[in-house]
C-alpha cells in the first residue's frame, strides 16, 4: 500500500509550508517531498515560492547559519567550502545501473539496488535538527517550450541561495502545470558539519538515477556537487534530449554584431581553459549564457536558450584590464556570492589575478592565512583557491543580451568548437558540411592540459563537444543525436573550429588575446555569405584580404601577410596524426556510427592528396582549390 504523503505532511510540517505544497495541486510533487521529509527527518521544512519574502528568508538564513558572511560591499557575501571539497567529485559521481541494462558499461556506475540502499542509509535522519529547504526552479526561460521544471531539496541555505541567483523561479510554473508528472528532482544534504563545512567529505556521494530523473548529493557543499540544476541536471537533460530529438549542450550563447549593430547568435563549446568564458564575454558583444544551452529545431531553424540566468564562474584572473565588465559587476553594490577567496578583517576580498597587492593576512578556505602558510602536505596555500568562484545574475552585467529571457530562444547562426591545440589546428576554420563539422571538429575535439592545472603540459585530452564528463548516453548515440539534428533544419547553423593556442616554431603563441574578436566577426560574415573562403582539406579558411580588413576595423591593428601565412598554414602531418588518434579512440568504443570513420577517412585522403602536391606545410595562398561562398 502506497504511503499517504499528503496526510503525513499535513501533520509533520507547519500549516504555512503545507498550504504552499497543497496549492501546487501536484500529487507527484507531494509524494517526492513527503518521501524525503520522512527519510531525512528535518526539524522544520521551508517551502520556497517565487515571492521576494521567501527569497529574503533563504538569503538571511545563509548568514544566520554562518554558511555565508557579509562583506564590505552591500549585497556581497562569502562562503567557504572544506579544503577537501573544492571541485566536482568525478570519482564518486555515479549512475544507477540496473543488472539487465545494456549499453551502459561506459558509465561510472553503481548497481541500482546497492546504490539506492547506500544513499538511503546515508540520508536516514541526516537532517535531524536542521531546516529543510524545498525550492522550485525552471531550467530555461519561463513559459517556454524549452522549459524543464525542477525541485531541489537541501539543508544548505547557501545552496538554495546560489540557485536563487542562478535559476528562474519555478513555483508558479509548476502551479500552471498541475498535471505534469515530469520534473527533475534533486536531494542534497551537506551532512554533519564541523566549523560550518561538511565533515564527512570522505563519504561524499553524488548518485544519479536516470530512470527517475533524480540526483542525490551528500556530504558535500561545493556548488559543483550540490547545485543540482547545473552539470548534474545537464546529465538528465542529455538523456531527455536524445529521446525527444533536441540537444542539451555544454555551450555558451552570445551575440556577434555587425557594424550596424544587427545581432547574430552563436553557440560555442570549449573545454576548460580554452577560452570559453573570455569568448562569451567579448568586448563589444552581448552574452546570453556562458555554460549550458538547450537547442531545438523550430520552423526549420535552430533556436537556443540559456538554461540559467546567472553565472557560477571561476574568479581567478578576473581583473579590470582583461575583464572590465565582469570586474565592475564583482566590485559594485549588488548580490554576489564569492566562494573560497581571501577575506580581510574589513570585509574586503582578494583573489589570485585580481591585479591588486596581496593582503598581508586574512581568512580563506583554510582558516587564518598569511603568506607562506602551508597545508598538511607541506604545499603552500594560495590566498584564494585556484577554483574559487563567484555567483552573480547575468542581468547585473552591462553586456547582458536583451533576449536572455525570450521564451522563443534565439536563432543560432553558427556552432563553434574550441580547443587548446599548440601544433595542429588553425585559429579559425569553417566545416565543409554539417556532418564533417560534427565528426571532424566537434566529435574529434581535443584539449591540451596546462602546467598550471595538472603539472604536466601538452597532454591531449579527448573531449567530444566539450561534453564528455557529462554524457549520460553512449558516445555513439550522442554523436548520432547531433548528426540527426540537422535533418530537422532547412539551413543548419554553420560549424566552426577555433584555436587560440597555436604556437609558432619559436614556441610563442601566434594569436593575440584580442584576436578572437576578429575570428568571430569572420564567422558572422561567413554565416551571411558576405565573404568567400578558401577550400582546404580540413575546412574553409579565411582569405587574407578579409582578415586584413577586419583586423583594422575591429582592433585598429595592421595584419601582415606573413602573420596570415604562419597562422593558416595547413600542417599536414599533424592533422594526419590527429585523425589516427581519434580513430584509435573510437575503435575501442561500441556503437560508433560508421559514417564517423568514413568521414575521417575522407579527410585523411584529402590531406594526403594535398601533401603529394605541396609537402607537409601548405601555404593557404597556394591552395589549388576553388574559392567558395
Residues designated as active site? 274
Angle formed at CA 466 by CA 425 and CA 494, multiple of 5 degrees = 65
- Under DSSP, the state recorded for 622 is G
309: exposed, middle or buried (Cβ count in 10 Å: 0-12, 13-18, 19+): buried
Residue showing cell 563537444: 465
C-alpha cell at 32: 517526492
Helix (H) or strand (E) holding 79: strand 76-79
Ranges of H-type helices in 42-156: 52-64, 112-123
The DSSP element (H or E) to which 35 belongs, if any, is helix 27-40
**Euclidean distance between CA atoms 234 and 211, whole angstroms:** 15
Q: Which helix (H) or strand (E) holds 551?
A: helix 544-555
Contacts of 298 (CB under 8 A, 6+ apart): 408, 409
Contacts 24+ apart (CB under 8 A), 442-445: 442/269, 442/415, 442/417, 442/482, 442/495, 443/479, 443/482, 443/582, 443/596, 444/578, 444/579, 444/582, 444/600, 445/269, 445/271, 445/417, 445/419
Instruction: Annotate 435-464 with three-state secondary structure.
Output: HHHHHHHHCCCEEECCHHHHCCCCCEEECH
Secondary structure letter of residue 46 according to DSSP: E
DSSP, res 510: S
**C-alpha to C-alpha distance for 117 and 535, rounded to whole angstroms:** 58
Grid cell, residue 440, equals 571532424
Locate 352 and state its grid cell: 589570485
Question: Left, alpha or beta for 482 (phi > 0: left; psi -120 to 50: alpha)?
Answer: alpha
> Counting beta carbons within 10 angstroms of the beta carbon of residue 75, is it exposed (0 to 12), middle (13 to 18) or buried (19 or more)?
middle
- Interatomic CA distance for residues 88 and 366, integer angstroms: 18
Nearest Cα to Cα of residue 396 among 337, 336, 355:
336
DSSP strand pairing (336-339 vs 76-79): parallel
SS (H, E, C) 233-250: HHHHHHHHHHHHCCEEEC
DSSP state, residue 358: P
Strand partners, 462: 446
Please state the φ and ψ torsions of residue 204, each to the nearest 5 degrees: -65, 135
Task: Say how many C-beta atoms besides its own lie within 10 A of residue 367's C-beta.
Answer: 11
d(CA 39, CA 152): 15
How many helices and strands in the chain, by DSSP H and E? 19, 36
> Residues, the chain, total?
629
Amino acid at each position: 500500500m502506497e504511503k499517504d504523503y499528503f496526510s503525513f505532511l499535513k501533520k509533520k510540517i507547519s500549516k504555512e509550508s503545507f498550504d504552499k505544497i497543497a496549492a501546487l495541486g501536484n500529487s507527484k510533487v507531494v509524494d517526492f517531498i513527503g518521501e524525503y521529509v520522512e527519510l531525512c527527518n528535518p526539524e522544520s521544512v521551508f517551502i520556497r515560492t517565487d515571492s521576494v519574502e521567501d527569497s529574503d528568508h533563504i538569503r538571511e538564513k545563509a548568514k544566520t547559519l554562518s554558511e555565508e558572511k557579509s562583506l564590505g560591499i552591500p549585497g556581497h557575501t562569502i562562503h567557504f567550502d572544506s579544503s577537501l571539497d573544492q571541485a566536482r567529485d568525478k570519482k564518486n559521481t555515479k549512475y544507477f545501473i540496473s543488472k539487465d541494462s545494456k549499453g551502459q558499461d561506459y558509465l561510472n556506475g553503481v548497481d541500482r539496488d546497492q546504490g539506492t540502499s547506500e544513499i538511503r542509509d546515508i540520508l536516514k535522519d541526516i537532517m535531524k535538527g536542521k531546516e529543510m529547504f524545498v525550492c522550485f526552479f525552471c531550467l530555461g526561460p519561463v513559459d517556454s517550450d524549452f522549459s524543464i521544471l525542477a525541485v531541489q531539496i537541501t539543508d544548505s541555505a547557501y545552496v538554495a541561495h546560489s540557485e536563487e541567483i542562478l535559476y528562474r523561479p519555478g513555483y508558479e510554473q509548476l502551479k500552471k502545470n498541475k498535471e505534469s508528472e515530469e520534473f527533475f528532482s534533486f536531494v542534497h544534504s551537506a551532512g554533519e558539519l564541523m566549523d560550518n563545512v561538511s565533515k564527512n567529505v570522505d563519504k561524499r556521494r553524488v548518485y544519479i538515477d536516470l530512470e527517475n530523473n533524480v540526483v542525490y548529493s551528500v556530504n558535500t557543499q561545493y556548488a559543483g556537487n550540490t547545485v543540482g540544476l547545473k552539470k548534474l541536471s545537464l546529465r538528465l537533460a542529455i538523456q531527455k534530449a536524445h529521446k525527444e530529438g533536441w540537444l542539451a549542450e555544454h555551450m555558451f550563447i552570445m551575440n556577434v554584431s555587425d557594424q550596424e549593430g544587427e545581432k547574430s547568435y552563436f553557440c560555442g563549446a570549449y573545454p576548460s581553459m580554452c577560452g570559453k568564458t573570455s569568448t562569451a564575454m567579448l568586448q563589444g558583444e552581448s552574452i546570453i549564457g556562458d555554460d549550458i544551452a538547450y537547442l531545438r529545431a523550430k520552423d526549420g531553424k535552430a533556436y537556443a536558450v540559456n538554461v540559467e540566468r546567472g553565472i557560477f564562474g571561476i574568479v581567478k584572473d578576473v581583473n579590470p584590464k582583461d575583464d572590465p565588465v565582469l570586474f565592475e559587476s564583482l566590485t559594485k553594490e549588488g548580490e554576489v556570492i564569492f566562494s573560497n577567496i581571501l577575506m580581510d578583517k574589513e570585509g574586503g576580498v582578494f583573489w589570485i589575478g585580481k591585479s591588486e597587492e596581496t593582503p598581508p593576512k586574512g581568512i580563506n578556505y583554510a582558516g587564518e592565512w598569511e603568506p607562506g602558510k602551508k597545508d598538511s602536505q607541506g604545499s603552500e596555500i594560495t590566498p584564494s583557491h585556484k577554483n574559487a568562484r563567484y555567483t552573480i545574475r547575468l542581468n547585473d552585467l552591462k553586456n547582458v543580451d536583451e533576449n536572455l529571457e525570450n521564451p522563443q530562444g534565439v536563432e543560432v547562426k553558427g556552432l563553434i568548437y574550441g580547443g587548446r591545440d599548440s601544433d595542429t589546428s588553425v585559429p579559425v576554420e569553417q566545416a565543409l558540411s554539417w556532418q564533417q563539422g560534427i565528426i571532424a571538429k566537434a566529435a574529434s575535439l581535443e584539449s591540451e592540459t596546462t602546467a598550471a592545472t595538472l603539472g604536466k603540459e601538452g597532454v591531449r585530452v579527448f573531449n567530444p563537444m566539450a561534453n564528455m564528463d557529462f554524457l549520460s548516453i553512449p558516445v555513439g548515440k550522442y554523436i548520432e543525436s547531433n548528426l540527426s539534428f540537422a535533418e530537422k533544419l532547412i539551413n543548419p547553423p554553420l560549424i566552426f573550429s577555433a584555436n587560440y593556442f597555436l604556437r609558432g616554431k619559436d614556441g610563442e603563441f601566434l594569436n593575440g588575446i584580442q584576436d578572437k574578436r576578429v575570428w568571430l566577426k569572420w564567422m558572422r560574415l561567413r554565416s551571411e555569405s558576405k565573404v568567400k573562403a578558401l577550400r582546404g582539406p580540413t575546412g574553409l579558411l579565411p582569405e587574407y584580404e578579409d582578415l586584413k580588413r577586419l583586423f583594422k576595423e575591429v582592433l585598429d591593428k595592421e595584419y601582415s601577410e606573413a602573420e596570415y601565412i604562419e597562422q593558416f598554414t595547413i600542417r599536414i602531418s599533424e592533422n594526419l596524426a590527429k585523425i589516427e588518434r581519434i580513430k584509435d579512440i573510437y575503435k575501442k568504443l561500441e556503437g560508433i556510427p560508421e559514417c564517423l570513420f568514413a568521414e575521417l577517412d575522407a579527410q585523411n585522403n584529402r590531406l594526403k592528396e594535398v601533401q603529394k602536391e605541396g609537402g607537409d606545410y601548405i601555404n593557404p595562398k597556394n591552395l589549388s582549390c576553388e574559392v567558395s561562398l
